[in-house]
Amino acid sequence: MSEDGNKDYYGIAAVWLDAQDITVWSKVTLKTKKGTFKGILLPRGGQGDDKHLTIKLSNGYNIAINLDDIIEIKKTGQAKSEYKIPEKKFRRNPNKPTVVLLGTGGTVASRLDYNTGAVIPAFSTQELYNAFPELRDYCNLETKSVMQKFSENIEPADWIKIANEIMSIIENNDPVGIVIAHGTDTLHYTAAALSFILKNLDRPIILVGSQRSSDRPSSDTAINLLGSVNAAVNVDIAEVMVCMHATSSDTAVFLHRGTRVRKMHTSRRDAFKTIAAKPLARIDGKKIAYLQKNYQRRGQAKGAITADAKFEPKVALVYFHPGLEPEIIDFYVNKNYRGIVFAGTGLGHTSQRVINRLEVAIDNNIPIFMTSQCLWGHTNLAVYETGRNLLKKGVIPLGNMLPEVALVKAMWVLGHTNEIPFVRELMQKNLAGEIIMQERVDDFVIRQMGLNEK
């Protein structure tokens, strides 16, 4: 497992820097096609490739400069960094269980260099132990980076890669739980994907992210990471979960079921919400409170853990709205899409114009699934004529499955079969808690502040 946190240049950049006798923290003057820059060569950023240098300019900004743009580089001195790889090395504690932290991208922790102002990703076990000493109270942490991606660039193929890595970690390291650090943009999509992939889980698989990077005073990294590691060791829930801030205050995290969670705010630390149910658990420091009764427990699984990671990426998500032209259906049929998930209005409706065009998809053996853009509440196609017309066409209603979860599930189901009756059966069956049969009145959790609270 990597212990270096990828702070050093490699490949072309490393060869080129070596040839010029320039090292990290060198003061440099760069003549480039885009102008001349003076600054300090920083360690490679977390998202860095081997074709860019990162320079801290004297005005405080960091810029990435493409090697191809550089006409000349001159070393003018050497800065002294106060950032150091931690000197203290922590030994493995034989009395503690093992947790593996899997990195997919985004910054879990970062070290601020006070001389240059540079924020440097920290990911190795030793760095994390130094940043968050409490980690050692819970476990022996091992870290492994499987990819370095902003989560908006995560694709179905990456879900498979992560799942395979989880299986390899279980086989080789046999940790009590796995924590996956993931960018927050599509964290819930990956959580849903892993929920369908992994069968017979006997330990928690916990996705964690941070809404504010760890160099900001308001960062949620520490609480989220500590909460997720605590959960990996101590919660008795053997499911795929998301661990994020419970409220905007700085004390507790929630564990959300991977198939019922959604990012509901662009920037708040408590952006992730379980839709139409309580989260599975709440962790405040060392205190764990279970909020649900039905979940898979450790050791409850009847068979061995398996990863069934096949996805059909050609599934469309169509958000119905007034003016939606039915020609979009022809497009997906012509492009050989294998399924279409609608986020319909209300109980799961589209216009009659759209319904009339569904024929072409159905005739091509392309199943149409119906969810609701309301997000809360069940679809019901039996109440109105529109719904009944959709049913007549063979549209498959998906209960209260969230549109994004329905998309991920459809990709997974259609990765296994195109037989419509079997597709219908699998999509309507509750495989990983994605359908809540009965939403409780109390779980419609959108309140309008003010007078209606009374």
Residues 260-319 that bind its own copies (CB under 8 A): 263-268, 270-271, 273-274, 278-279, 282, 289, 291, 311, 313-315, 317, 319
Burial class (CB in 10 A: 0-12, 13-18, 19+), 268: middle
345: which DSSP letter? B
Partner residues linked to 102 by β-bridges: 144, 180
CB hemisphere CA count around 102 (13 angstroms): 25
Residue 82 CB, shortest distance to its own copies, in Å, is 26
- Residues 6+ away with beta carbon under 8 Å from 343: 317, 318, 319, 320, 371, 372, 373, 403
Residue 23 CB, shortest distance to its own copies, in Å, is 25
Q: Could you say whether residue 69 binds its own copies (CB under 8 A)?
A: no
Residue 93 CB, shortest distance to its own copies, in Å, is 31
Q: How many residues at the interface with its own copies, by CB under 8 A?
A: 92
185 as an active site residue: the answer is yes
> Is residue 167 classed as helix, strand or coil in its secondary structure?
helix
Q: Name which of 76 and 247 has its Cβ closer to its own copies.
A: 247
Q: Name which of 1 and 383 has its Cβ closer to its own copies.
A: 383
Q: Name which of 127 and 270 has its Cβ closer to its own copies.
A: 270
The span from the CA of 296 to the CA of 322, in Å, is 42
Stretch in the footprint of its own copies (CB under 8 A) among 49-57, 134-142, 257-265, 419-427: 257-265
List binders of its own copies among 156-185 (CB under 8 A).
Answer: 156, 158-159, 184-185
Question: Which one among 87, 171, 363, 385 touches its own copies, defined by CB under 8 A?
Answer: 385
107 as an active site residue: the answer is yes
List binders of its own copies among 77-106 (CB under 8 A).
Answer: none
Nearest of 81, 67, 80 to residue 30 by alpha carbon: 67
> Is residue 40 classed as helix, strand or coil in its secondary structure?
strand
Stretch in the footprint of its own copies (CB under 8 A) among 11-19, 115-123, 235-243, 382-390: 382-390
Q: Could you say whether residue 51 binds its own copies (CB under 8 A)?
A: no
**Is beta strand 252-257 parallel, antiparallel or unpaired with respect to 205-208?**
unpaired
List binders of its own copies among 315-374 (CB under 8 A).
Answer: 315, 317, 319-325, 327-328, 331, 335, 343-353, 372-374
Q: Name which of 7 and 349 has its Cβ closer to its own copies.
A: 349
From the list 98, 104, 125, 184, the catalytic residue is 184
Partner residues linked to 101 by β-bridges: 143, 179
263 as an active site residue: the answer is yes
The span from the CA of 39 to the CA of 55, in Å, is 6
The span from the CA of 161 to the CA of 76, in Å, is 44
Q: Which two tokens stand for residue 320?
A: 């119905």
113 as an active site residue: the answer is no
The span from the CA of 257 to the CA of 263, in Å, is 13
Residue positions annotated with a catalytic role: 107, 184-185, 263
